[in-house]
Chains A and B, each alone.
Chain A
Amino acid sequence: MCPAARPSSGISPRRYRSVNDQKVPVAREQEVPPGASRLLNVDGKEVALFNVEGRYYAIGNKCSHRSGPLVRGRVETVPVAPPEVGPGLPAGQATVVAVRCPVHGWLFDLSTGACLTRPSASIPTYPVTCEDGQVCLGSQQGQAAGPSMPVAPSA
């Protein structure tokens, strides 16, 4: 489990506008160090940017349950039971990096936006690239189809 994401700036999101679906620089890499998160506003939409051990993820900020702010959520490595696991293989071998909504605990796969708590409730993701020390966001991706469900840890 990673530490809780630490929003690196105040609550008010920085505002950005994409032009013709081009990549938009949204932060310098050192502004969002590993373990940090940042709230962005891209084309009027709130986006939560995370740096998880050097890899960036961008996801819609509002939880699909009760609109909790995912930028304040805890980042976790979650075991899942992937549907492609064949007979004889133990469930839970695969893991995904996910953010847990701080309000009621719903989990979202940071790579795909898939909701691991309720499969029909996925949220959008945004491709993130780093160029010349700048973190750049691409256009919103389609929302993921029903994901694998998380495996509850044994008591």
Chain B
Amino acid sequence: MELDKVASLVESEYQFFTKVHDKWSLTKGPQDMELVAHALRVILHMGKVGESLPEYTALVNIQHADGGWGRESTEKESAAWVSAFCALMLIRADAILQNAAVEKSVWKSIEYFLQGQKPDGRWVDSEWGDLDTTSHPVSFFNVVLALGTPKMKDAVRASWRKGLKFIVDAQSQDGGWYDPVFQPSGVETTAHLVQDAVVASLALPEGLPVRPTCEKGLNWILEHQAADGSWDDHNEDHTMDCTRSTLLISRMLRAEEKARPALEKAVDWIVATKNPNGWPDFPGMETNLERTCDGLDVLLKYQAWRQSDPLEMVRRWGYVPGSPTFIRDLAAKV
């Protein structure tokens, strides 16, 4: 897709995103925390962290004493899946903000995940399958190992390896990950696990030998794409997951040429099926704000994938040790 078109869409969709600030911001009242985390990821990749401290302060202020967050901002019980997403957004933001309260909150969330891990390496959440749930703390710990302090890294390393092993061991012979209760088709689970948990070990020391795991995962995702570019029966969420996963894995494996036709078809489909403002769950449906955040995220990562610096893509996941820079921040400084 033409980069000018992508840039134009990013700008118009970001305008829409800011226009509906009341619907996702904790500074405006109680919110669905999964939506909040998705929105903070947009802020991160748009290079707007530095001007968004109140959003992060609001997130810190509702953190539970155990270090987690609830599914709703008013909910008292912590949930692993959304807590990992919130913690990930905080550590990514703190690489830019360097804020003591945010760092303290990250520490509390690390403690939450160290305490909550099961002996076999998994984390559990009643709303998500164990594989999917486990991929999120592992993803958070990937970034702790890439961007955190030496003390943080010492604390998480053993836990991270156990979680990663739980995921790697669960890969099927065909390269996919299946959850018999939540995701028998395997599309979303495979796309999540390979991008969020596994592939970072190609960049981080002391990981597991995951290259064959990633290669099989990428092949599985490419094989399951429909002819029109979508995945899982025109599912926008899962198509976006698979697209992002393919962007990252193909770059890390240097398999860009193999993945390029699938990626171009996928991005074309995602753009063709968006609403005038935002994205739906399925083509033709009303706009879903969380899906809109996903759509923006895909476009921003696709932009990064097209940059001449191959690492810019990987920085989007925070897996490049010590380098939390963003294209837009860099552009602003020129």
Task: Report A-chain residues with C-beta under 8 Å of the C-beta of B283.
Answer: 11
The answer on a CB contact under 8 Å between B179 and A105 is yes
Give the B interface residue count (CB, 8 A).
Answer: 23
A38 in the interface (beta carbon within 8 A): no
Q: A65-B127, A66-B34 are in contact. Are A105 and B183 (CB under 8 A)?
A: yes
A106 to B181: give the CA distance in the assembly, Å: 8
The answer on a CB contact under 8 Å between B235 and A105 is no
B171-193 interface with A by 8 A CB criterion = 179-184, 188
Q: A118-B127, A152-B181 are in contact. Are A104 and B188 (CB under 8 A)?
A: yes
Task: Report A-chain residues with C-beta under 8 Å of the C-beta of B181.
Answer: 105, 107, 117, 150, 152
A150 to B129: give the CA distance in the assembly, Å: 13
A12 to B111: give the CA distance in the assembly, Å: 47
B233 in the interface (beta carbon within 8 A): yes
User: Main SS of chain A's interface residues?
Assistant: loop
Task: Report A-chain residues with C-beta under 8 Å of the C-beta of B180.
Answer: 152-153, 155
Q: A11-B285, A65-B127, A104-B188 are in contact. Are A117 and B233 (CB under 8 A)?
A: no
The answer on a CB contact under 8 Å between B285 and A117 is no
Task: Report B-chain residues with C-beta under 8 Å of the C-beta of A100.
Answer: 184
Task: Report B-chain residues with C-beta under 8 Å of the C-beta of A92.
Answer: none
A103 in the interface (beta carbon within 8 A): yes
Return the chain A residue nearest B284 by Cβ: A11
A69 in the interface (beta carbon within 8 A): yes
A10 to B285: give the CA distance in the assembly, Å: 9
B interface residue numbers (CB < 8 A to A): 34, 126-129, 179-184, 188, 232-233, 235, 237, 281-285, 288, 290
